[in-house]
Chains A and B, each alone.
Chain A
Amino acid sequence: SQQGEEDPQALSIQEGENATMNCSYKTSINNLQWYRQNSGRGLVHLILIRSNEREKHSGRLRVTLDTSKKSSSLLITASRAADTASYFCATDPGDATNKLIFGTGTLLAVQP
């Protein structure tokens, strides 16, 4: 299976703490994207990092990419209860099909 894996599967933290999620993938990529899914909802795009980038920031989000290790991490700083959701990484394998291969997801619970 091409599906990537995320670690941890579930994470519970207190409001104000930082949350780090890791993603490993199997093929070479054009870019890697992170999405959030609130319970019972569709996925919302958070951030995209290209294969020639190593780090990217967006508000309280920081994403790193290590193509030599085929891994990425998502850091959410100063977490809030509203950040409670599942987080998925998705890779563009660069095969010109425009498909995304999603990871298994991390369920983040932020306790108020």
Chain B
Amino acid sequence: DTAVSQTPKYLVTQMGNDKSIKCEQNLGHDTMYWYKQDSKKFLKIMFSYNNKELIINETVPNRFSPKSPDKAHLNLHINSLELGDSAVYFCASSHLYTGATDTQYFGPGTRLTVL
């Protein structure tokens, strides 16, 4: 059973295109996240949602728009793709506890290459 799944695993596209990455978790978690890992393996939080509500937006360009249709899904839509968007994008989920961050469960990642 896959706990956190992402599709697609690989995405190769041209500059200027619009693309989406989907994420689903079957762990019953309240909170989901998107992280970006660059070529140097730096991992940085982009967004988090709790029960379909945005709670973190870490100064990500407006071209990135997360959408959470329900608490088990968090999709990432990227408009007007740029070369610098090339990275591995990870979805994660966790329980939400007031005052402390619990263990996060990560998806396998989506490797985005912008040509």
Closest chain A CB from B53 CB (angstroms): 12
Residues of chain A within 8 A (CB-CB) of B33 are 99
Question: Are B105 and A45 neighbours in the complex by a CB distance under 8 Å?
Answer: yes
User: Which B residues lie within 8 Å of A31 (CB)?
Assistant: 100-101
Interface residues of B in 71-109 (CB under 8 A from A): 90, 92, 94, 96-109
Least CB separation from B90: chain A residue: A42
Tally of A interface residues using CB under 8 Å: 27
Residues of B within 8 A of A86 (CB): 41
Residue pair B43, A98 in contact (C-beta under 8 Å): no
A30 interface residue (CB < 8 Å to B)? yes
Closest to A99 in B: B45
Range of interface residues on chain B? 20 to 34
In the bound assembly, the distance between CA atoms of A16 and B90 in angstroms comes to 32
Q: Which residues of A sit under 8 angstroms from B92, Cβ to Cβ?
A: 43
Q: Is B12 an interface residue (CB 8 A)?
A: no
A44 within 8 A of B: yes
Are A48 and B43 CB-contacts (below 8 A) given A41-B108, A41-B109, A99-B56? no
B99 engages A94 (CB within 8 Å) = yes
What's the minimum C-beta distance from A104 to chain B, rounded to whole angstroms? 6
Q: By the criterion CB–CB under 8 Å, are A42 and B107 in contact?
A: yes
Partner of A42, one of B45, B48, B96, B106: B106
A30 touches B101 (CB 8 A): yes
Query: In the bound complex, do residue A3 and residue B42 qualify as a contact, i.e. CB atoms below 8 Å apart?
Result: yes
Contacts of B109 in A (CB 8 A): 40-42
Chain B residue with the shortest CB-CB distance to A107: B41
